[in-house]
Each structure stands twice: as C-alpha cells, then as structure tokens.
Structure 1
Amino acid sequence: MNKTLKSTLQGIGIGSSIMLIFIAIFEVTIGFQEVFSVYLFGAVCGFLPIVYEVDRIPLPFKLIIHLGGSILTFFIISTINHWVPLQPEPLIGALTVFTLIFIVIWLIFLIINIQQSKKINTKLKKM
C-alpha cells in the first residue's frame, strides 16, 4: 500500500478513535457532518507527515509544518462544527489539549520509527 495512503488512513483511524473517546467522556451526539469532519480532519493530519519525506527540510521545520497544518485544520473544522467557542479561554484550552495529544502521538511514532531503524541496522550488520 502506498505510504501516503497508509498514513492518511492511519490518521483517519487515530482521529476517529480520539473522537469516540471524547464522545464517551462528554456524552455528546454527533451527526453526519461531524462524522465526515472527523474523517476529513484525520485524513489531513495523516497526510501532513508527507513533509517528513523531504530531506532538505530540517526536522524542527517539518514538525512545525505538521503541527501547524494540523492545528489550522482542527480550528477550521471545529469552527465550522461549533465544537470550540471563538473565545480566548476555550480556544487556548482546545489548543493546549490538541497540542498535547499531537505531541504524544508524534512521540509514539518517533519511538516506533527508532525501534524499526535499530532492527534494520541490526539485520544489515549481520549481513
């Protein structure tokens, strides 16, 4: 499967899972538009890691592009769906929670990639 497609589908799965957790915690009901929005948001967040494939961009800038694009998408979709009121306190709270979730997911993927690299390097050394 194409790496970009796989990443996009993973983004949809992760975004949907996080949304299900929030639905369970806050006991909210969502309609088709919200479901579609969650899928769209997950797809964009899953697609954005394509930036990590560009070798000439330093890692901190890749992270800023990925995080920035994800935040922008989140706030566009959350504004359309009225998930976060356009007031300073809720926006700051949503930004904080979103950034923390993003960092945790990013670190998980970083650890997985480091482990995979170590396994590959070990196999290469054995050859």
Structure 2
Amino acid sequence: MHLRRASPSPQQHRRALEETGSQAELTSLRGNGDMASRVAALLLLGVICAGFAAAEIAVDCCLSTTDRFLPLIKIASYTIQEAGRGCDISATVFITKAGKTLCVVHPSERAWVKSHIKLLDKRSRAH
C-alpha cells in the first residue's frame, strides 16, 4: 500500500523556510509574489488602455435613412457613411446650414442624392 503525503500549503512552506533559515529560497518565494502583482498590474493597465482606445473611436452613425428629397439650398455639406466601417448601414449625411444632421439614402440608391453631392463638391472647390 502506497501512502501519498499531502503537499504543504504555501504558508506552511514559508514558515518552514523561515524556521530553517533558508534565506535564498525565502527571497525567491517573495520575488514570485512581487512578479505576480506586477503582471496583474500590467494586465489591469492594458485593460484600461484598451477601454480608452475604444472610447476614442466612437462614431456618430445614422441608424435609419430617408429618401425624401431635400432642397439643395438648405444643405451646407455632407459625408458618406459606409456600412462595415464602424456603422451598420450605408448613408449620406447631409449637414444643413442651420447645423442639423440629416441621414438620407446612399448616393447609389437615389439620383438626386448623387446630384446634390456633385453640386456640393463643385461649390466647395469654388470657395
């Protein structure tokens, strides 16, 4: 019959080392604890940095669009929103002269949107 001896707990092992005066092994054990806390601190720092990086990438996206015609005279500028680049849908974002943001269909879906974009581009090159 074979008997298996239970392994001492880390605290029991430390006490035994302190009693026997094995300073080198005791220092080694303390170093492992320091290393673990350093690794934990580094991991925590990494998680915090990743959170800040993700927060900086926040993008305002159109969640829905309209195909209702907008008079060009009210529009100051535009941006194109592409699906898969941080947003769920493709859209044209018109910014009015009053500063409002209007989400309309992508220029590939309506000819009037494509026409407005061409005219806005001409207008911005002229200035």
For normalisation by structure 1, the TM-score amounts to 0.29
The structure that has the greater radius of gyration is 2
Return the TM-score normalized by structure 2.
0.29
- Give the helix-richer structure, 1 or 2: 1
- RCO higher in 1 or 2 (8 Å CA, sep ≥ 6)? 1
